[in-house]
Amino acid sequence: MLEVSNLACTRGDHRLFSGLNFTLNLGQIMQVQGANGSGKTSLLRTLCGFVAPDEGVIAWRGENIHELDEEYFAELLYLGHLNAIKDELSALENLRISAGLSGVELNEKAAIAALRRMGLRGREMLPTKVLSQGQRRRVALARLLVGDAKLWILDEPLTALDVGAVALIQELIAEHLARQGMVIFTTHQPLQVAGTEMRSLLLS
């Protein structure tokens, strides 16, 4: 499904990685590992198509992602360091808008159900500026529940989350893999997903 061949990425004058090859198939999960500054985020952003690779090709279903564009984006869910939520909007509005931007029209009931599963019961209508860092992250992560994207690209999904939320994310990832989804993620915290083999890619 996702095939990366001979990928190279440069930041400024610094070559982060080169000659990177891997294939990710349905139901597989891959952790990108490496020290700070080794290019994990750059790799994920390249896979999303924000940055054109210096060398190499990223192919989705056999076609270059830079030619697929919107077709690829429709199957992709990216969660970066930034939560992409607005302080002025409530958790509910934020979730419905971010689902809308990813092409899914979400009714209020489904959105509330998703927020409750993320442990935000009673906080649905509050403006997100009064929520804590971890709760905002939960609002952002609620997108995992509402889309039908095949490929999840998660950059440090566990930052600011407590133990309960980490367990919940592990559960969500396991469900996604069981539905033949694919996940690429980075994290510095241990993350165990039951029932699947975790592949890892070490950047150095």
Partner 1 sequence: MKRSSMLDLLVLVIRRDLVLAMRRRADVLTTLIFFVMVVSLFPLGVGPEIAMLRKMAAGVLWVAALLSSMLSLGRLFSADYLDGTLEQMMLAPQSLSLLVLGKMAAHWMVSGLPLVLLAPVLGLQFDMSAQALGVLIVGLLLGTPILSMIGAIGAALTLGLRGGGVLLSLLVLPLYIPMLIFGTGAVEAISSGLSIASHLSLLGALLVLALVFTPWVTAQALRISME
169 near 158, Cβ under 8 Å?
yes
Select from 108, 148, 162, 175 the one that contacts partner 1 (CB under 8 A).
Answer: 148
Give the interface size with partner 1 as a residue count (CB under 8 A).
34
Q: Please say whether the beta carbons of 198 and 29 come within 8 A.
A: yes
Distance (Å, rounded) from C-alpha 25 to C-alpha 3? 9
Q: Which amino acid is at 40?
A: K
The reply on whether position 134 binds partner 1 by CB under 8 A is no
Could you give the CA distance from residue 30 to residue 198 in angstroms, rounded to a whole number? 6
- Is 13 among the residues that bind partner 1 (CB under 8 A)? no
* Residue 77, CA atoms < 13 Å, CB-side half-sphere: 27
Nearest to 184 by CA among 7, 70, 47, 82: 47
- The verdict on 110 binding partner 1 (CB under 8 A) reads yes
Q: Is 73 among the residues that bind partner 1 (CB under 8 A)?
A: yes
Q: How far apart are CA 74 and CA 102, in angstroms?
A: 7
What's the closest the beta carbon of residue 94 comes to partner 1, in angstroms? Answer: 10
Q: How far is the CB of 73 from partner 1 (least distance, A)?
A: 5
Cβ at position 197, least distance to partner 1 in Å: 28
**Residue number with CB closer to partner 1 (3 or 93):** 93
List interacting residues with partner 1 (CB under 8 A).
48-52, 69-71, 73-74, 76, 78, 80-86, 88-89, 93, 97-98, 100-106, 110, 146, 148
